Amino acid sequence: MCTENNNGDVLREISDKLELVEMAPGCRDVSVVKGRHRQVIELENDDLCEIEGVLCGAFKAKTPVLPDHRRDILEKSSHLVKNTFASLQGSKIADVINVDGSSTVHVGHVVNITEQIVLNPSRNELEYPGKLRDYSHYFYMVDRKHWLAEPCRGQVETLEKPAKYVIICHTATEEAFTQAENVLMLRLLQTFHIDSQGWADIAYNFCIGSDGNVYEGRGWSTVGSHTATYNRHSIGIAFMGCFLKHLPPKTALRKCRELIEHGVKIGAIREDYELVGHCQCRPFLSPGKRLFDEIKTWRNFNGQVVNTQACPLNL
């Protein structure tokens, strides 16, 4: 366990040792550091354990920042410590932290991040059966690993392609205008869909933020959970927010149309697709009256699609 008591003094003591050792364990010669004679101390396991604890505790310490030359020494020492502990059983230092096979992972209140964090991106994307993703037609979007999506918890069901319907929804949540806020919204939405609704993943194939970004949900190849009886034949696109009385920003509307065109280009959506509102297929207010009125003006909108149940919005 890392302690915060007297971290400043201990750090100075350890950095003094490292100055003397000069990253060469085993040296017992007498060195001169800043005009002072000190005997070099061999860094064996006990010393390494002490250094490892101090390096960890330094992140929590409330003491003033060490001088530059001491910070450099501590930074260099981390390589020595990591390499040594890598060969020891039960190491507390790791270059890679892998969370695998866990049903619930919560990362919160993270501060003092000094290096890049990668959450196993190879497992954080849905693994589609058949072929790998086609990157020949590039379309920028914020993919799953960049909004820290949880892996799909159920069996991945492949979408029948090309999709016949494009269904426009809204999430009925707060509206967010920055990528950071939308990432948080997506994580909360995915958690709600998985834990409360009992679905395997976030419901939609794609989400559109009011920051003008497209966010990958289940993607082009996976059946969503957005519209019962239509999921296997449709791509569900949700605007993040509630659009009963106002429209999303023009950049978000344009990005949605471009996403649909891209889907047609790569063969994920039929050229003669039918664009419909969520409210036409299910008795919901989604995508909101104001947004629904907008998509009526878009290419391939089909106002003839009406569910047997009454639609809440005036078609």
Res. 300: pLDDT tops 90: yes
Domains held by the chain: number: 2
Can you point out the beta strands (E) in the chain? 30-33, 36-39, 163-170, 206-208, 214-216, 234-239, 269-277
If asked whether residues 152 and 64 sit together in one domain, one would say no
Is-contact 222 149, C-beta < 8 A?
Answer: no
Percent of the chain with pLDDT over 90: 47
81-90, 153-162, 184-193, range with greatest mean pLDDT: 184-193
Domain end point (choices 86, 106, 133): 86
- State whether 35 and 171 are in the same domain: no
Burial degree of 129 (CB within 10 A; 0-12, 13-18, 19+)? exposed
Q: How far apart are CA 216 and CA 71, in angstroms?
A: 40
> CA-to-CA distance for 152 and 61, rounded, in angstroms?
38
- Examine residue 75 and state whether it is found in any structural domain, yes or no: yes
pLDDT digits (tens, 9 = 90+) for 238-260: 999 999 999 999 999 999 999 99
Same domain? 64 vs 145: no
Which residues, other chains included, contact 277 with Cβ-Cβ below 8 Å and sequence gap of 6+? 167, 168, 286, 287, 291, 292, 295, 313
Residue 75, H or E segment: helix 68-86
Task: Say if residue 201's pLDDT is above 70.
Answer: yes
What's the pTM? 0.58
